[in-house]
Amino acid sequence: MLEKADQLFILLRNWIVGFLPAGWQAAAGVVLGVIGIVAVFPGLFAITTVLERKGLGRMQNRIGPNRTGPFGILQPIADAIKSLTKEDIVPLNADAVVHFLAPVFLVVVVFMGFAVLPVGRNMVLVDMDASLLFYFAMGASTEVSIFMAGWSSRNKYSLLGAMRAVAQMISYEVPLLLSSVVVVMMTGSLSLVKIVEAQNQYTWGLPHWYIFTPWGCAAFVMYAIAATAETNRSPFDLPEGESELVAGYFTEYSGFKFALFFLGEYLGMLSISGLGTTLFLGGWSAPLAALNWVPSWIWFFSKVMLSIVVLIWVRGTLPRLRQDQLMNFAWKFVLPMTLLDLMVAALWRFLGDGWARWVVCSAILVIVYVAAGRAGMRGKHFGPRTYRYAE
């Protein structure tokens, strides 16, 4: 029975496919999988928007939306109707084709990333050997769409926002990749399915998730920072800084195209949280051996939603960075730390089993982290701002 609940969607797919002639079955199975992805993740996007608006409200001692439906849970439907019925304006001087293609391209590329994420036991649309590589190729393509949007709008704010976005995303792409490389080094495979399987083991009832190792924990923190920057989330939301750039690269977008950008951005968040879950939090594996009876997809989606909650929490806490702070942080702190982490992971691999590698690896990481932090903060003035001329 529990076995069936775990494989519910696979069984459902096989049952539907069974009605078709043998030659069509493989293609129909893929189409059903795509339908599943296209239905589930936008649903999660709707939940995320409502969670975000209510959660941020509570963090700022507000109530948040509570008018549409009980406790405002129908807010996403109202938002969807609003964006669908709004006028779609294309600036006179804009490159209309590119202007139209940019949001479509973004959403398509983000959906492609979901194809390789294992959302449960046996539940992956395409199980390819280099799925991590495929994922990052797709993730990097979002930058093209953002630049398309900024360039085609023929608006200085759009272009500035797009330049910022591309600069930021390329800078953080490097630590994002390098922090994932650690996992690949340990697993010996680029296949996300194999990476999850490698973490789905238990010692004394506790899982072998990579976050519970010194190098994995450090890599996870770096991954989380880079992922936040990749998805243009606060505190790295400079490309959309309302106070200086109107809305960044989607200044000239309205109506459904804007909704598509919004969708693409949140799907990107869900997808990068899904990848983080897969790489460091054990994917669909249960947090305790005793909880293995719960269907695997429940674990995957709860972990993803937990990551989303943390992202919302961070957004509610931190102010936006400055452009130079953003770049300095990426190149002078996150990147060296990920490089160090690569070496620590190698050290871990060759120190062999035993407690020694735990102590040595943790010590190296902590000491370097503290020292780098000290060095970075030296000579900087913190505290209330002082004004020389104006008071």
Partner 1 sequence: MLGEGILKGLAETAKNFAGSFVSAERLTTVEYPEQRIPTAENARVFPFLIYDGTDWEAGMRCVACQICEKECPPKCIYIEKSKDKKPDFVGKMQIYPAKFDIDVSVCMSCQICVEVCPFEAIKMDTEFELSTTDRFGGLLFDRKHLAKSNEYYHEIHPTEATEVDARLAEEKAKAEAKAKAATQAAAAKAGAPASGPAPGAAAPTAKAAEALPASKPAGGGE
Q: Helix/strand/coil (H, E, C) string of the chain?
A: CHHHHHCHHHHHHHHHHCCCCHHHHHHHHHHHHHHHHHHHHHHHHHHHHHHHHHHHHHHCCCCCCCCCCHHHCCHHHHHHHHHHHCCCCCCCCCCHHHHHHHHHHHHHHHHHHHCCCCCECCECCCCCCCHHHHHHHHHHHHHHHHHHHHHHCCCHHHHHHHHHHHHHHHHHHHHHHHHHHHHHHHHCCCCHHHHHHHHCCEECCEECCHHHCHHHHHHHHHHHHHHHHHCCCCCCCHHHCHHHHCCHHHCCCCHHHHHHHHHHHHHHHHHHHHHHHHHHCCCCCCCCHHHCCCCHHHHHHHHHHHHHHHHHHHHHHCCCCCHHHHHHHHHHHHHHHHHHHHHHHHHHHHHCCCCHHHHHHHHHHHHHHHHHHHHHHCCCCCCCCCCCCCC
Q: Is the Cβ of residue 67 or residue 388 nearer to partner 1 in the bound state?
A: 67
Q: Is the Cβ of residue 309 or residue 347 nearer to partner 1 in the bound state?
A: 309
Work out how close the CB of 198 gets to partner 1 at its nearest, in angstroms, rounded to a whole number: 29
Angle, to 10 degrees, between the axis of helix 255-280 and the axis of helix 296-317?
110
Work out how close the CB of 256 gets to partner 1 at its nearest, in angstroms, rounded to a whole number: 29
Work out how close the CB of 169 gets to partner 1 at its nearest, in angstroms, rounded to a whole number: 22
Q: Is the Cβ of residue 72 or residue 287 nearer to partner 1 in the bound state?
A: 72
Work out how close the CB of 33 gets to partner 1 at its nearest, in angstroms, rounded to a whole number: 37
Q: Is the Cβ of residue 234 or residue 271 nearer to partner 1 in the bound state?
A: 234
Work out how close the CB of 276 gets to partner 1 at its nearest, in angstroms, rounded to a whole number: 18
CB-neighbour burial class of residue 133 (10 A; exposed 0-12, middle 13-18, buried 19+): middle
Q: Is the Cβ of residue 313 or residue 358 nearer to partner 1 in the bound state?
A: 313
Work out how close the CB of 374 gets to partner 1 at its nearest, in angstroms, rounded to a whole number: 8
Q: Is the Cβ of residue 84 or residue 377 nearer to partner 1 in the bound state?
A: 377
Q: Could you tell me which residues come within 8 angstroms of residue 63 by beta carbon, excluding any fewer than 6 positions away? A: 57
Q: Is the Cβ of residue 154 or residue 320 nearer to partner 1 in the bound state?
A: 320
List contacts with partner 1 (CB under 8 A). 55, 58-63, 313-314, 316-318, 369-370, 372-374, 376-377
Work out how close the CB of 322 gets to partner 1 at its nearest, in angstroms, rounded to a whole number: 16
Work out how close the CB of 188 gets to partner 1 at its nearest, in angstroms, rounded to a whole number: 32
Diameter of the chain by CA atoms?
Answer: 81
Contact 251, 156 (CB under 8 A): no
Q: Which amino acid is at 73?
A: I
Q: Is the Cβ of residue 97 or residue 318 nearer to partner 1 in the bound state?
A: 318
Work out how close the CB of 144 gets to partner 1 at its nearest, in angstroms, rounded to a whole number: 32
Q: Is the Cβ of residue 332 or residue 349 nearer to partner 1 in the bound state?
A: 332
CB-neighbour burial class of residue 269 (10 A; exposed 0-12, middle 13-18, buried 19+): buried
Q: Is the Cβ of residue 317 or residue 325 nearer to partner 1 in the bound state?
A: 317
Work out how close the CB of 381 gets to partner 1 at its nearest, in angstroms, rounded to a whole number: 14
Contact 50, 312 (CB under 8 A): no
